[in-house]
């Protein structure tokens, strides 16, 4: 019947996990021998090894990585911290996946966390990761300066910035070719006869948004399009605000004939506004968005975009990361991943009279 467990379940006298000591006792060997077996070190007889393995299996022993790393020379936790805008957004998902795949080859686990463009949150997450002694960080940022990471960098912690280049610290970065991509989109619209082009952009305090706006304006200037004929709307951080802004623009007496939207959600907001206004407007207003999104090719018209390669950004960041971890001491480098314009229809609408 009962009899067995008179132990108070609330206060486990026995530790949650067996230790090497337990395995050693059961196998009738010393603890160091167990250690050798668990780490596939040489100098253990095949027979002893099997006794140890057997004992470990019977106890369901699980080595404690943290304990081992405490003493292990230059011990790595085999853990990396990843900070992205939000793990729920597709760009971050693709990037995360690429990082994970590279990490897996090195038996490295990845902590992922969302910034929500909140500087305080960034600091908190970084702190939490450091206290867990991650081997390094791959990060998007929300702070205006990342100089607070300098001490960490000096300790030899690899730091690779993604999506946005770092400010106040020299470190590796992998980013999209934002200004050029925006310029390409703008040129594309100009080539299709547009001069009254509107720019709808994200929050001005976001580096990539600034870069894209810069690319847009520069291209206008270098193509000789008068800036007076363009409208610039910024600080559109959500679908709804973008939609409203597009509505406003397109209801003007002399509306723009083309729109360049500098971000995913903004593009979608614009598409909604266009659909709201009906095919008259949709078919006469050109649209090129920055950043591709799922199903952009299935819409009507299909959406022309300047696509970023999140997967590649993640893969290159991971590559840089592990190179640093392996001792690469070369100067910090910024890797620029080029964007590519994908013409699908919405961007090829010609300017009307």
Nearer Cβ to a copy of itself, position 133 or 247? 133
Token readout for 272 is 């909604």
Nearer Cβ to a copy of itself, position 157 or 208? 157
- CB of residue 41 to DNA, shortest distance in Å: 8
> Among a copy of itself, DNA, none, what binds residue 86 when CB lies within 5 to 8 Å by partner kind?
a copy of itself
> Among DNA, a copy of itself, none, what binds residue 9 when CB lies within 5 to 8 Å by partner kind?
a copy of itself
- CB of residue 25 to DNA, shortest distance in Å: 11
Contacting residues toward DNA, per CB under 7 A: 1-2, 15, 17, 19-21, 28-33, 35-36, 38-39, 42-45, 47-49, 63-64, 67-68, 70-73
The dihedral through the CA atoms of 61, 63, 64, 67 has a sign that is: positive
> Among a copy of itself, DNA, none, what binds residue 40 when CB lies within 5 to 8 Å by partner kind?
none
Nearer Cβ to DNA, position 1 or 253? 1
CA distance 216 to 294: 24
Q: Whose structure tokens read 């999140």? A: 310
Contacting residues toward a copy of itself, per CB under 8 A: 9-12, 16-17, 60, 62-67, 69-70, 74, 77, 79, 86-90, 92-94, 96-97, 100, 104, 107, 109-114, 127-133, 151, 155-157, 268, 271-272, 275, 293-295, 298-300, 327, 329
Nearer Cβ to DNA, position 71 or 329? 71
- CB of residue 153 to DNA, shortest distance in Å: 19
- CB of residue 174 to DNA, shortest distance in Å: 32
Nearer Cβ to a copy of itself, position 108 or 141? 108
- CB of residue 13 to DNA, shortest distance in Å: 11
Own/partner contacts of 169-174, CB < 8 Å, gap of 24 or more, are 169/145, 170/332, 171/146, 171/332, 172/317, 172/320, 172/321, 172/324, 172/332, 172/333, 172/334, 172/335, 173/332, 173/333, 173/334, 173/335, 174/313, 174/316, 174/317, 174/320, 174/334, 174/335, 174/337
> Among a copy of itself, DNA, none, what binds residue 132 when CB lies within 5 to 8 Å by partner kind?
a copy of itself
> Among a copy of itself, DNA, none, what binds residue 228 when CB lies within 5 to 8 Å by partner kind?
none
Nearer Cβ to a copy of itself, position 127 or 205? 127
Other C-beta atoms closer than 10 Å to the C-beta of 326 total: 9
- CB of residue 180 to a copy of itself, shortest distance in Å: 26
Nearer Cβ to DNA, position 45 or 330? 45
CB 41 within 8 A of CB 72: no
Nearer Cβ to a copy of itself, position 45 or 60? 60
Residues 6+ away with beta carbon under 8 Å from 69:
75, 76, 77, 133
């Amino acid at each position: 019947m009962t009899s067995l467990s008179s132990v108070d379940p609330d206060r486990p006298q026995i530790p949650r996990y067996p230790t090497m000591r337990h395995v050693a006792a059961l196998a009738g060997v010393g603890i160091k021998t167990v250690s050798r077996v668990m780490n596939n070190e040489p100098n253990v007889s095949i027979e002893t090894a099997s006794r140890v393995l057997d004992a470990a299996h019977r106890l369901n022993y699980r080595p404690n990585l943290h304990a081992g790393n405490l003493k292990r020379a230059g011990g790595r936790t085999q853990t990396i911290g990843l900070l992205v805008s939000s793990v729920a957004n597709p760009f971050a998902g693709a990037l995360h996946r690429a990082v994970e795949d590279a990490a897996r080859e090195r038996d490295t686990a990845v902590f992922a966390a969302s910034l929500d463009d909140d500087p305080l949150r960034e600091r908190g997450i970084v702190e939490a990761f450091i206290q867990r002694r991650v081997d390094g960080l791959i990060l998007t940022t929300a702070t205006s300066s990342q100089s607070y990471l300098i001490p960490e960098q000096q300790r030899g912690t690899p730091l690779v910035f993604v999506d946005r280049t770092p400010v106040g610290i020299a470190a590796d970065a992998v980013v999209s070719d934002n200004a050029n991509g925006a310029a390409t989109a703008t040129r594309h619209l100009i080539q299709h006869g547009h001069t009254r082009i509107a720019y709808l952009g994200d929050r001005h305090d976001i580096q990539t948004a600034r870069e894209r706006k810069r690319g847009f304006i520069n291209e206008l200037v270098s193509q000789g399009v008068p800036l007076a004929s363009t409208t610039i709307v910024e600080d559109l951080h959500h679908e709804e605000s973008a939609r409203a802004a597009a509505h406003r623009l397109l209801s003007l007496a002399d509306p723009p004939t083309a729109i360049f939207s500098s971000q995913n959600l903004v593009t979608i907001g614009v598409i909604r506004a266009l659909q709201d206004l009906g095919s008259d407007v949709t078919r006469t207003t050109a649209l090129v968005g920055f950043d591709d999104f799922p199903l952009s090719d299935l819409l009507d018209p299909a959406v022309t975009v300047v696509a970023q390669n999140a997967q590649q950004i993640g893969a290159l960041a991971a590559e840089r990361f592990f190179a640093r971890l392996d001792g690469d001491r070369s100067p910090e480098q910024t890797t620029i991943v080029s964007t590519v314009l994908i013409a699908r229809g919405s961007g090829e609408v010609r300017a009307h009279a």
